[in-house]
Amino acid sequence: MSVDKMTHQRQMKTRSSYGRGVCFRPSWALAALSVIVVIVIVVTAVVWAKDLIRLTLHTNMGLENNTLSYNLWVKPPILPLVSVYVFNYTNADEFEKGIDTRLQVEELGPYVYRQRTEKVNVVFNHNGTVSYQEKVSLSFVPELSARHHPRQDYIAVPNIPLLSALSVLKDSYVLAQLAFLAMTAGMDMQQFVRISVHDFFWGYDDALFSLARTYTSLTQELPYKKFGILMKRNGITRNRITMYTGKQNLQQRGVMSRLNGEERLHHWLGDECNRIDGTDGSMFPPNLVKRNSTIYIFNEDACRRFPLEYVEDITVHDGIPGLRFRAPRDLFAKPDVNPQNACYCRFEMGFCPPSGVFDASPCTYGAPIMMSFPHFYLGDPILLETVEGLKPDPEKHDGYLDVHEELGVPLDGKSRFQMNILVRKSKTLQHLANFKDGSILPIAWFEVGIDGLPEEIMDMLYHLTFTTRHIQFAVRYMLLVLSAVLVYVLVRRIRCRPPADDVSDTGVVTPI
């Protein structure tokens, strides 16, 4: 074959090959491109298969010292409003004199306070938990209190120290009751006290309460020198809480594991009721915040956990989605309606309150304090027969909690509970002769709510909810397009590789 003919054939192959695209002669270049294509395809598959935004958020949601989540937890920027409504007994004088046989009440309030909470004495434990106490302070907000002034408003309310003492003495021997009469002979013990709202909230001197502090110190110390229904909401709380940080297991984040070093309570009859479980309401494990699920809050005032059931999807604060939860309708129902409440009844004393009321006395130093929804909402109608003036209203007296589904943090909510006291009469002690034994008297009700989220928190939630999703959406489709382009280029390069005889052709012609 002549040199000209071979040269012509080689040029024709080269032109044909160039017509299909520029080819990579070196094999290492094609191998490198192949590796890049594989890596991009794998990354694309992972980004589409996994919710990396959620994984990243969950990785950083556990509590750890000197992190953003820790700082927000120690000093929450959200300052709840505590609104107190107190019941003034308008015919207390007539009732004590026997003129009226049924008590009448009027609701005074709201008296609104802004609550600041700080975690103190914080200790991180080696088992993925953290122990702490809370420092709480309430400051009065007059502009939100509807012209009510606690120092100027006076009320007549049941004498709680007296009712508490008589309740405890009812189960004592007659000699103990007679000794009580002797010790209190010189005291002015009326069925009702006339006092300013401020003193009723923050403490007043009571001779009977001082006497009780002296005698109960032998078994348990009363932490206050004066009696007031808001005394425990000011200062460092006595309870020391231990909860999971979520660093080892995010599905336990915020869940309490111990209270004052104890793994379970000793107030109730069954293990289920004595469980120390649930969160303090400031955070929830994200896996539990789901539709048709139940979350739990541990209430220190009642020494028990409260369930909250999913109700509906909602949107708050510029369209941020959340899930709404509220207390079950049978939360305070009698055991024949809600069998789970059987272990909260004190059957050894022959007492179980009517539906709509929870007996919190084991958690209140023996004082016969009963808890309910405001105005006995969802309660047995018999509760409304003791006093006049109560008007249950679901719009005013029902509670709810809105929670961010992915982050497990509250977005909005109202917690509403009422404090009542039980009348327990004794045959020996006649201080409560005008009262019907077993009557439950309303004292005050409380609403704890969020008055909007701070702007920086709203911005953070908005970006975590929407901006990060938009970024993830864009990255996914950019990677998908990039993968398609790289695959196309790789196929073109493979198809345009010169044949083996071209590769081996050195361009040197050996004559025949």
Residues paired with residue 138 on neighbouring β-strands, in sequence order: 115
Calpha distance 193→50 (Å, rounded): 64
Span 450-490, pLDDT tens digits: 877 777 777 767 666 666 665 666 666 676 676 677 676 76
Residues paired with residue 256 on neighbouring β-strands, in sequence order: 243
Residue 510 above 50 pLDDT? no
**Mean per-residue pLDDT for 170-187?**
80
**Mean per-residue pLDDT for 142-168?**
93
Calpha distance 375→107 (Å, rounded): 10
The answer to whether the CB of 132 falls within 8 A of the CB of 119 is: yes
Residue 319 above 70 pLDDT? yes
How large a percentage of the chain has pLDDT more than 90? Answer: 51
- Give the DSSP H or E segment for 475: helix 468-495
Question: Is the pLDDT higher at 337 or at 496?
Answer: 337
Task: Tell me the average pLDDT of the chain.
Answer: 84
Task: Give me the pLDDT at residue 130, please.
Answer: 96
Span 6-24, pLDDT tens digits: 555 555 544 444 444 445 5
Residue 366 above 70 pLDDT? yes
Task: Give me the pLDDT at residue 416, please.
Answer: 97
**Mean per-residue pLDDT for 326-351?**
90
Task: Give me the pLDDT at residue 507, please.
Answer: 45
Calpha distance 376→178 (Å, rounded): 36
Within 145-259, strands assigned E span 154-158, 192-196, 235-236, 241-244, 256-259
Give the pLDDT band of residue 446 (cuts 50, 70, 90): very high
Read off the tokens for 62.
């556990």
Q: Which are the contacts of 12, defined by CB distance < 8 A and separation ≥ 6?
A: none
Task: Give me the pLDDT at residue 59, please.
Answer: 60
CA nearest neighbour of 304 among 362, 352, 237: 362
Residues paired with residue 375 on neighbouring β-strands, in sequence order: none
Read off the tokens for 312.
């509906």
**Mean per-residue pLDDT for 378-389?**
96
For 332, phi and psi rounded to 5 degrees?
A: -110, 25
**Mean per-residue pLDDT for 91-118?**
95
Calpha distance 512→502 (Å, rounded): 20
- Residue reference for tokens 């006076």: 154
Calpha distance 506→512 (Å, rounded): 17
**Mean per-residue pLDDT for 283-287?**
89
Global confidence as pTM: 0.82
Q: Is the dihedral of CA 171, 173, 178, 182 positive or negative?
A: negative
Span 126-151, pLDDT tens digits: 999 999 999 999 999 999 998 899 99
